Chain A
Amino acid sequence: MVVKVYGPIKAACPQRVLSCLLEKDVDFQVVHLHLDAGDHKKPDFLLRQPFGQVPAIEDGDFKLFESRAIIRYYATKYENRGPNLLGNSLEEKAVVDQWLEVEAHNFNDLVYNLVLQLVILPRMGKQGDSALALTCQQKLDKVFDIYEQRLSASAYLAGDSFTLADLSHQPGIRYLVEDAGMGHLVSQRKHVNAWWETISNRPAWKKLMKLASD
């Protein structure tokens, strides 16, 4: 049974899900949506995702949305296949959860707004708010300082192995480094830089990048 993933393969939140599916070697089919044509706001898509956002998945009869709920589901469903993305003990899982929450609440909105102002709006022929972009960048600098401190103590955010907490950052950091000209936020920090080098060179992520460029 192939998992259907609704959304553009180049968008950040679908990539979060696809990275996880590739890590777990789960067969999937990307059902492309044209966001500029408003596909995600049309009635039949709203039945899948009432907030009109990508991605949504369909796995046989099972439907789910919210990328971070989807990755938790597949990491649990295929716990014994491929890398352990969750941690072992309840305490280890709690720490993975903690850093997933950090990504969601302390990292994501800053990256989203920065990329919106510097990349997305200009691509649409609109003016980005450079003052807002600067504020986001300054706040993100402070967040990355905390990541640098954390990653000086452990190879990955939640401990010694790659987990969902690291995976969840992949799409956002790619946007920062490759599209928004914010690579220095990563490269100027020794441990953050080493961490990004490692997680962006994972075979699953590299495969996704190839699929997204085709």
Chain B
Amino acid sequence: MKLHGNPLSTATQRVLACLYEKDVEFQFVDVDMGAGEHKSEKFLSLNPFGQVPAFEEGDLKLFESRATTQYIAQEFSDKGTQLLLPGSNKTMAVLQLWKEVEAHQFDPPATKLVYELRYKPFFGLTTDTAVAEENEAKLGKVLDVYEGRLAQSKYLACEHFSLADLHHLPTVQYLMGSSAKKLFDSRPHVSAWVAVITARPSWTKVQDMVKQKV
């Protein structure tokens, strides 16, 4: 299995976390985004949208991090951590629901905040405080729903760690290193959940890759 990507990219980290949870052998191929490698013809044959990561296993080529993690979690269902809710269509649907929530409710404001509060300072650009405030307010409302959910359920989809929680790790980690940390710290159940999921050994391995890159 090959994963082409950049350790600093949230989408790449999402798939890396999944591969580590599953304890499977894979080769990581670094894509030099600074040199525009992700827009090269060779990379576009792996992902026509020119985005990282891209995944290969034998003849299978996949892109879109959330389709890739779903495939890995199913293909290696018997290995490593159980990241799905097998058992019935209904339990799988509940997992799917919380994966969709991450993608459509959490990710949009969270990604904009990472851009304003982490990416821009890193590259010497000026944070747009109006955009940052607007997205902090939006993310706050989403986290209110999470607070309610996590008061009733140990993890988002069920009582064990699943893909629904894993998908949040990259963006949560970046935000915990910014002024947006307060959004998570001020909500007790969300705060406890963040502490638990970011302490997972598989996530520590991803963070080690990030540290080597920076």
Query: Chain A residues in contact with chain B, CB under 8 A?
Result: 50-51, 62, 64-66, 68-70, 72-73, 76-77, 90-91, 93-95, 97-98, 100-102, 104-106, 109, 143, 146, 149-150
Interface string of B61-76 (1 = CB under 8 A from A): 0111011101100110
Alpha-carbon distance A149/B70, docked complex (angstroms): 25
* Of B28-36, B92-100, B120-128, B196-204, the one with at least 4 CB within 8 A of chain A: B92-100
Q: Which of A65, A97, A150 contacts B97 (CB 8 A)?
A: A65
Chain A residues within 8 Å of B71, by CB: 90-91, 93-94, 97
Chain B residues within 8 Å of A98, by CB: 62-64, 67-68
For chain B, the count of residues having a C-beta within 8 Å of the partner chain is 31
Chain B residues within 8 Å of A76, by CB: 89, 92-93
Q: Assuming A101-B67, A105-B64, what are 12 further A-B pairs, CB within 8 angstroms? A: A51-B145, A69-B99, A69-B100, A76-B92, A76-B93, A90-B75, A94-B71, A97-B71, A98-B62, A101-B64, A109-B108, A143-B49
Nearest residue in A to B70 (C-beta to C-beta)?
A: A97
Cross-chain contact A94 with B67 (CB below 8 angstroms): yes
5 smallest CB-CB distances across A and B, nearest first, come from: A101-B64, A66-B100, A97-B67, A73-B93, A69-B96
Q: For the complex formed, measure the closest distance between the CB of A85 and the CB atoms of chain B, giving whole angstroms.
A: 14
Q: Is B90 an interface residue (CB 8 A)?
A: yes
Chain B residues within 8 Å of A64, by CB: 93-94, 97
Q: For the complex formed, measure the closest distance between the CB of B144 and the CB atoms of chain A, giving whole angstroms.
A: 9
